[in-house]
Chain A
Amino acid sequence: MRDNGRVSDEVLIEMRAACKRFRTWKRKEGVRGFFANFLAREWQTVSALEGIDLTIRRGEFVGLIGANGAGKTTLLKCVSGITPVSAGSASMFGCDSFELRDEHKRRLSMVMGQRSQLWWDLPAIDSFRLLREIYPVPREVFERRVAESAERLGVADKLQRQLRNLSLGERMKMEIVGAFLHEPDVVFLDEPTIGLDLVSRETIRRHLVELNRSRGVTIVLTSHDMEDIEETCRRLVILRQGRMLFDGALVDLMARVYDRRAIEVHLEPHSAGWEEALAPLLEPFSAKLERSAPLSLLFSVPASAVQRFVPFLFERFAIRDLAIERHPLDMLIRQIFQERGPGAGAAP
């Protein structure tokens, strides 16, 4: 699906050694702790972002991933000017993010998958009218954009229906129609496909890629769904505990994905499973055991070794079923997490 447009040299988002730290107090347990919480609080500094260097140019489609609490949303907040950085700098459109003026804010938009901005009891079109005034968009342009976007996302006939009567997928599509009404230059999407069915996810991804390609809109997408990332982004940023673990082209990462296969083996009940002693036998195939359960094993193998490795598996184990798949991106990302410690910086 990835058919993104051209990236220009114009830098829209820039972070230099950006840190975000919070001061919070440690809650103590028990009765003594209860009094200590009032009388002698123990303060600590929590680091949500640490030393982030990030440059995003016009037209890029960047995937931002990381575990819960990795700092994805904090990064979005710092960049979009909701909260200031504690050290370093964060800028957007060449202006300090926390000092963004209205003319800058008109150029950005934010969609939060779990926080609908449209009013539950009203049809989406009513909320769009308010957005039209906020941004502001001329009436005829507004009508055209709503009609086009809603048509493309397949919700044109739902505009007049109360939001509460729409499905989750339809509501998210409405959010996206609203987010692009003012044709922003930068859009932050925070888990836009969370909880959606396959068809809705596909439709939304296709729509986003189309907007990125045709309008050159810069999109920063956070998602736990690797399919979202694979099918839309050209660049991937991985965060872990507030630090940037990887920043690079998705295509480079995908080359590693295409080079390997995941082989999932289901064993016969009561048969011999995996033993540590078997590990050296994997070396000739450059295979790695990714996951081991009593009756199932998951191996990662170079594509070129599959033909030799499968007979080896049948020889060693009583196999009930076997599946060979392309190496999933999330497995690779897990490897990156394992290879680089929490203190590691971004890839060059």
Chain B
Amino acid sequence: MSSLLRDLRLLGIAFVYELRKVTAWRAGFVVRELMRSMWRPLVMIFVYRAMLLEPDARLGGYDFPGLVGYLILAASFEKLLFHQRGLDLADQIFQGYVTKYLTMPVRFFVLALARFVQHIAVQGFVLAVLWILGWLLLPQWWPQPHSAAAALSALTLVLLGSYCAFLVCFVVNVLAFWLDVIWTLSAMASFVFSFAAGVLVPVSIMPEWLAGTLRWMFPYWAVSAPVELFLGRLDPSALSHGVAVLLAWIVALELVRELAWRRGLGRHVGAGV
């Protein structure tokens, strides 16, 4: 218990430290944190406009304003999702910076976890500002929650999904103990994740066999499902299904993370690092 309290206390201090780090480089903060995940949905708005030129044209049950609402929500939720650039563990492993932490009386994962907490805090704040501006400036386009419970359900799923994404990032970074192609893997993982999450195209309008498969993957429950819950297009009972899928993924990814880290440390032997 005292170890848990110590970890929590360290997490708090490390969170402040990470917050200071992320805001220290101002240009990087604006480009990487504030504007992240804004451009692709913006492009997709023009793509959907071109596809749905007729006034009553629809795509899988969505009209154009509905798709714009979907894209705004998907972009918002994607901002909350942890991403590969948020963790520089692979660099630390390659360059040997991780070595010194290994002699410290600390679980390294707690320090990495502080990155996740910092990410949620920063992106949560950015989103709050963005949504207030959206409601004030674009009230006819900005999506409204179906109900307060729907909004809360969506947020719960996004946060759990973001933690899954963080664990995947951690595991991919830990592969740096074996491989030197981590950034290629990250870019590939990010592309697959975007597709499976339905960031650009709602999963519900994909072919049934594909949508059915994706419903067992955590990215769907991290973006597409929360968006549809928020809009009331998904039955509220989906929440329990989503939470169960995400928790199962968290347990599996935690096991993989622990195993990869232990095995990786056994290989951390490079000269001079």
B152 shortest CB reach to chain A, Å: 33
Instruction: Produce 1/0 per residue, A97-127, CB < 8 A to B.
Output: 0000011011011111011110101100011
Q: CB distance A117 to B269 under 8 Å? A: no
What 1/0 mask marks residues of chain A from 266 to 304 whose CB sits below 8 Å from any chain B CB? 000000000000000000000000000000000000000
Give, as a whole number of angstroms, the nearest-CB distance from B150 to chain A: 39
A241 within 8 A of partner (CB): no
Nearest A residue to B9, CB-CB? A133
Contacting A at CB under 8 A, from B97-147, are 97, 99-106
Complex: chain A residue closest to B10, CB-CB: A133
Report yes or no: B99 in contact with A135, Cβ–Cβ below 8 A.
Answer: no
B131, chain A: closest CB distance, angstroms: 29
- Cβ–Cβ < 8 Å partners of B101 in chain A: 117
Of the stretches A4-12, A51-59, A74-82, the one at the interface is A74-82
B24 within 8 A of A: yes
Indicate which residue in B104, B268, B273 contacts A134 across the interface (CB closer than 8 Å). B104
A84 cross-chain contacts in B, Cβ below 8 A: 266
A-B pairs under 8 A by CB, number:
85
For the complex, what is the distance from the CA of A119 to the CA of B10, rounded to whole Å? 17
Distance in angstroms between the alpha carbons of A134 and B13 in the assembled complex:
9
The interface residues of chain A, by DSSP majority, are classed as: mixed
Does B196 count as interface, using CB distance less than 8 angstroms? no
Q: Does B65 contact A (CB under 8 A)?
A: no
Across the interface, do A115 and B103 meet the contact criterion of CB distance under 8 Å? no
Q: Is B271 touching A83 in the complex (CB atoms < 8 A)?
A: no
Residues of chain B contacted by A20 (CB below 8 angstroms): 269
Given A74-B269, A74-B271, A105 contacting B105 (CB threshold 8 A): yes
- Within the complex, which residue of A74, A77, A106, A119 is in contact with B105, where a contact is CB–CB below 8 Å? A106
Taking a contact as CB atoms under 8 Å apart, the answer to whether B97 and A117 are in contact is yes
Please report the total number of B residues contacting A with Cβ < 8 Å: 27
Contact A121 B24 (CB under 8 A): yes
B209, CB-defined interface residue at 8 Å:
no
CB distance from A137 to the nearest CB of B (A): 12
Q: Are A103 and B105 in contact (CB under 8 A)?
A: yes
**Chain A contacts for B175, CB-based, 8 A:** none
User: If A119-B21, A121-B21 touch, does A133 touch B13 (CB 8 Å cutoff)?
Assistant: yes
Task: Please tell me if A25 contacts chain B, counting CB pairs below 8 Å.
Answer: no
A73 within 8 A of B: yes
Task: Flag if B24 contacts A110 (CB, 8 Å).
Answer: no
Instruction: Please give, as numbers and ranges, the residues of chain B lying within 8 Å of A81 by CB-CB distance.
Output: 102-103
A22 sits at the interface (CB 8 A): yes
A162 contacts the other chain (CB 8 A) = yes
| Interface pair B105/A134, CB less than 8 Å apart | yes
Q: How far is the CB of B270 from chain A (nearest CB, A)?
A: 9
Q: Would A108 and B14 count as touching, CB distance under 8 A?
A: no
Q: Which residue of A lies closest to B28 (CB)?
A: A121
Q: Which residues of A contact B266 (CB under 8 A)?
A: 83-84
Of the candidates A108, A110, A115, A119, which one forms a contact with B95 in the assembled complex, judged by CB atoms under 8 Å apart? A115
> Which residues on the B side are within 8 Å of A127 (C-beta)?
17
Q: Which of B25, B99, B268 contacts A115 (CB 8 A)?
A: B99
Determine if B103 and A135 form an interchain contact, defined as CB atoms under 8 angstroms apart.
no
Chain B residues with Cβ under 8 A from A94's Cβ?
none
Give the residues from 240 to 269 in chain B that come closer than 8 angstroms, CB to CB, to chain A: 265-266, 268-269
CB <8 Å contact, B13 and A73: no
A74-B269, A77-B269, A83-B268 are known contacts. Are A112 and B103 too (CB-CB below 8 A)? no
Chain B residues contacting A13 (CB-CB under 8 Å) are none
The verdict on B58 contacting chain A, using a C-beta distance below 8 Å, is: no
**18 A-B contact pairs sorted by A residue (CB < 8 Å):** A68-B272, A73-B272, A80-B103, A81-B103, A82-B268, A102-B106, A105-B105, A106-B105, A109-B103, A110-B100, A112-B100, A116-B97, A117-B100, A121-B24, A122-B17, A122-B20, A126-B20, A133-B10
List the 4 shortest-distance A-B pairs measured between CB atoms, nearest first.
A121-B24, A102-B105, A105-B105, A133-B13
List B residues at the A interface (Cβ < 8 Å): 9-10, 13-14, 17, 20-21, 24-25, 95-97, 99-106, 265-266, 268-269, 271-273
